Amino acid sequence: MKSRKFDITPDIRLLVDIGEANYEVPQAISELIANSMDARFEENQVLVDVEINDEFISITDNGKGMTEQILAEALRLAAQMDSVTGNTKARKGMYGLGLKAACASLGKHWEIVTKPANDANQYSVEIDLSKWLKKRDRNNWEVEVKTGRHTRGEGLIGHLEHGTCVKISKLKQNFLMVTAVIEKLGMAYKPHLEGIDEITVNKTPVTPKVFTLVENRRYEIDIEINGHQVTGWYGLDTKTHNSGDYGINIYREKQLVEAWNKDFIRAHLMSSRVVGEIDLPFIAANFHKLGFNKTTEEWRLVKKYMTEELKPVVKASGQMSQNKQDNLRQAKAIRGLDVALGLISNEDQDFDGVSDTGTEFEAPKKTQKKPTNVISGNYQTLKIGEDEIPISYVFERLDETIPWDFIYDEDSGDLQAVINTQSLVYTETTDVELIARLALAEAVMGYSIKHRGADYSKAKENRDNWLHLAISSRRKAESKS
């Protein structure tokens, strides 16, 4: 058997293409800060200064800096940095891709200047992706590291004794939201910011994200899964979140890898008070640290255990949303949660002198049932040709811009108007009776078009006729009574 060897060095275009990663600007900046945190000098505080303007984005840290060789290696795709630096501690960096992917997703010109401690020199690299792509040799991955004497107070390193500055210009996006970056970093580096480290963005200090929890109660998570410890907490937010900003923030080595994960709870407005944070150092993040590798056995087990762990709080969240007429619903939900978790017994429940013998996890009494906002009315039967369509209506909550809508059941031919109690048409009008008739008339029209294939003029005729009948029957009924 013959064999030949081939050089499979990738095309230099890969350095550009890696910037097509799914990074948004805040995430890319966050990824660069991960390197700063990994570069902590001895046990000192890490200070990161981010500057953002229309021309460039720079991230400067007071980390231990890089030697000439380490800087060159840092630019290698998929570099095994631990073997180069001799590092033995856990790091946020995993694949040797973050620096390049983040820089390339932010802009086309990168300048990295670094100064190690106890070294009079600073080392720098400049990469312009436009020029990089013009290289004739498509296998030429060489980068030029410049060495120069560091003059204190000058250049990108400025007054720092040691540290690194990454400056990206020729930005892909010119409209940068500083507030979004601050918010993202406040969540992404919360564990660091609650400790000794500091991050500033355009001189504004980033503060760790603060959760506003019902009764300020945090429930600790400390469970062992297959020899690994999962730690963290969960609680109930004082507000529901229609925006999707609820669920569990998952950290790995103190860096946020997945925000608002909902794999352990049912994604629903009713569960949207459930918030929390866990640390999963033993599960690998995916390439761009935009999530975890969810195909592993470890993840499957974490999901199973966490789902079980969060069941009581999901239930409590739902109960707080349902029993809006109950002034004690918040206190009850929390006590119910405490009972479910075995933190208190049923007898311990007391709500400011109001006794309540049942727990929140028992079936609600009939009189305490959640408020039904369904109310029905059977107006009359709609006759179109030979067909007789029963029409009814309900009052419900829909998107506030929808005044009313309809549902049609094809099997039984049941037509139902749904009047939205959240719409301005409803809230600003006292004649709800008229609204119901208008909604029914619109249902007749929508039904005629969608389910009977009527054209607009025919559907409008059906609507007008029905509305006329409905209003005249109302007048007759009123004059009789």
Instruction: Using the minimum distance from each CB to other proteins, give the nearer residue, 313 or 415.
Output: 415
Neighbours of 406 (CB within 10 A): 20
HEC states along 38-86?
A: HCCCCCCCCEEEEEECCCEEEEEECCCCCCHHHHHHHCCCCCCHHHHHC
Residues 295-354 that bind other proteins (CB under 8 A): 315, 318, 321-322, 325-328, 354
**Phi, then psi, of 321 in degrees rounded to 5:** -80, -30
Provide the minimum distance between the beta carbon of 206 and other proteins in the complex, in angstroms, as a whole number.
19
Pick the piece of the chain touching other proteins (CB under 8 A) from 151-159, 168-176, 266-274, 276-284: 266-274
Structure tokens given for 60: 């400067």
Q: Which is nearer to other proteins, 40 or 289 (CB)?
A: 289
> Smallest gap, in angstroms, from Cβ of residue 442 to other proteins?
11
In the complex, minimum distance from the CB of residue 161 to other proteins, in angstroms, rounded to a whole number: 36
472 sits near other proteins (criterion: CB under 8 A): no
Binding-site member from 133, 287, 390, 458 for other proteins (CB under 8 A): 390
Please pick, from the candidates 269, 341, 343, 344, the single residue that binds other proteins as defined by CB under 8 A.
Answer: 269
Backbone angles phi, psi at 221, to 5 degrees: -115, 125
How many residues of this chain interact with other proteins, rule: CB under 8 A?
Answer: 71
HSE of 419, CA atoms in CB hemisphere, 13 A: 25
For 184, phi and psi rounded to 5 degrees? -65, -45
Which residues from 70-89 bind other proteins, rule CB under 8 A? none
Alpha helices in 189-262 (DSSP H): 190-194
> What residues form DSSP beta bridges with 127?
110
Given 119, 161, 183, 396, the residue binding other proteins (CB under 8 A): 396
> Mutual orientation of helices 25-38 and 178-188 as an angle, nearest 10°?
40
Exactly one of 32, 75, 259, 334 binds other proteins (CB under 8 A); that residue is 259
**The one among 84, 94, 270, 449 contacting other proteins by CB under 8 A:** 270
The C-alpha atoms of residue 110 and residue 132 are separated, in whole angstroms, by 11
Per DSSP, 125 falls in state E
Query: Cβ 388 to other proteins, closest distance in Å?
Result: 8
Stretch that binds other proteins, among 12-20, 160-168, 302-310, 358-366 (CB under 8 A): 358-366
Assign 367 to helix, strand or coil: helix
Applying the rule CB under 8 A, the residues between 189 and 248 that interact with other proteins are 244, 247
User: 């730690």: which residue's tokens?
Assistant: 231
Tell the smallest beta-carbon distance from residue 27 to other proteins (Å): 8
Residue 402 makes contact with other proteins by CB under 8 A: yes
Stretch touching other proteins by CB under 8 A, among 150-158, 222-230, 340-348, 360-368? 360-368
Q: Please pick, from the candidates 357, 367, 457, 479, the single residue that binds other proteins as defined by CB under 8 A.
A: 367
Min separation Cβ 439 and other proteins, Å: 10
Interface residues for other proteins in 405-424 (CB under 8 A)? Answer: 405-409, 411-412, 414-416, 418-419, 421
C-beta separation of 258 from 284 below 8 A: no
Cβ of residue 264: shortest distance to other proteins, in angstroms? 11
Please give the residues from 11 up to 50 whose contact with other proteins meets the rule CB under 8 A: 22, 27
Please tell me whether residue 446 binds other proteins under the rule CB under 8 A: yes
Q: In what order do the strands lie in the sheet with 255-261?
A: 219-225, 228-236, 274-279, 247-252, 255-261
d(CA 70, CA 241): 45
| Closest-CA residue to 257 (of 11, 30, 445, 8) | 30
Q: Which is nearer to other proteins, 84 or 449 (CB)?
A: 449
Burial of 183-219, coded b for 16+ CB within 10 Å and e otherwise, reads ebbbbbbbbbbeeebbbbbeeeebebbebebbeeebb
